[in-house]
Amino acid sequence: MRKPDRGTLMAALGGLAAVVVALGVVFPGSVAGELLGIASRPIMAEIALRLAVPITLAALGGIFAEKSGVINIGLEGLLIISSFTAVLVAWALGGTTSAALWTGFAGGVLASVLLAGLFAVVCIKYEADQIIAGLAVWLVALGLAPFASSVVFGGKNTTSINRFSEWTVPVLHDAFVNSGVGILSYVGHVLLRANPIVYLMFGAVAVSWYVLNHTAFGRWVEASGENPNALDTAGVNVHRVRYASVLVSGLLSGMGGAALSVGHVGSFVGNGTTMIDGKGFIAIATYLFGNYNPLGTFGAAMLFSGLESLQIGIQQFTPYEVPSQLIQVIPYVTVVVVLVLVGRTRIPEAAGEYYESGDDR
């Protein structure tokens, strides 16, 4: 099948959105008008940003790992283990103070880095099949977190604790919100007062973009995935670059999982497929859609989380009696559609392959 390239696809999406907006403006009473009315509320953008956090952070991690040549399909497991551990640690410290929550956050990140380290050793030192090892990371976390929760909390769901309180940009927030100008007030509501995890996400996107495009480490990561032999010849240890990249994927995914549990929700839900519910796999589709570019990946994550927040909005603000389970299907179907339509995603040349350096043995 000939696939449309990314530009065509984005243009089509943009066109569709423009049509809906135009219809909404012209016929305010129509469904399009109603959707536009909901989507233009600041709260919808705020929800979309918060929902994008775990997906974006895990996807950024996935970019580092896969660019270096290790396909990390276990992002889901890293999100699960960090979201649980963060709640556990924060709860053990009382679960109410900001210090307890941030320590819990750090604990969650640490757990994810450790699990990613295990994955790295299994893949790089013991030459495991990366897909199966990644599935193992997912299934280990899917078993371990609900088990540990049952041990400590007596059930697969933890007790509720506090969550991060919002940060406000001083002076500017009030100035923007009270400016009386629609767009400034919107920006003030959405961007100048937000959950710290949103700022964390912006920071991570910027730093990842910079590191990948403008540092020596970024070039090593690229070479390690595209042409490990050349990197080896240049005197850089391929295995070390890959270890570092997988650990970075653990760090970023850990921030994503902990942000969801102690940042946004205030508990861990371990029933069924846990509160992560496929976000790690959506993250993989996200960075494929974003073509391994942190900025494009963030855009793709916003597409998914925007759809999800619109679903919440439709349920809250319209009288339509659509079963919520039906609307929840939309992001998952979108992932499938994206994978079918996305063209020209060229995975790194050596991704998925064990690299045997000449002086190993």
| Contact residues: another protein, CB under 8 A | 1, 3, 73, 122, 125-133, 135-144, 146-148, 150-152, 156, 272-273, 277-278, 281-282, 284-285, 288, 323, 325-326, 328-329, 332-333, 335-336, 339-341, 346-347, 349, 351-353
d(CA 112, CA 254): 5
Q: Rank residues 321 and 359 by Cβ distance to another protein and give the closer one.
A: 321
Q: Rank residues 126 and 216 by Cβ distance to another protein and give the closer one.
A: 126
Instruction: Please report how close the Cβ of residue 232 comes to another protein at its closest, in angstroms.
Output: 19
- CA distances 116 to 46, 129, 135, 251, 262, Å, are 30, 15, 13, 8, 21
Q: Rank residues 236 and 327 by Cβ distance to another protein and give the closer one.
A: 327
- CA distances 173 to 40, 47, 73, 168, 169, Å, are 19, 18, 40, 7, 6
Instruction: Please report how close the Cβ of residue 11 comes to another protein at its closest, in angstroms.
Output: 20
DSSP letter (8 states) at residue 167:
E
Instruction: Please report how close the Cβ of residue 329 comes to another protein at its closest, in angstroms.
Output: 5
DSSP letter (8 states) at residue 8:
H
Instruction: Please report how close the Cβ of residue 246 comes to another protein at its closest, in angstroms.
Output: 15
Q: Rank residues 22 and 339 by Cβ distance to another protein and give the closer one.
A: 339
Q: Rank residues 34 and 66 by Cβ distance to another protein and give the closer one.
A: 66
Residue ranges of the alpha helices (H) in 235-357? 238-258, 279-289, 294-317, 324-341
Instruction: Please report how close the Cβ of residue 273 comes to another protein at its closest, in angstroms.
Output: 8
d(CA 241, CA 221): 6
CB atoms within 10 A of CB 95: 22
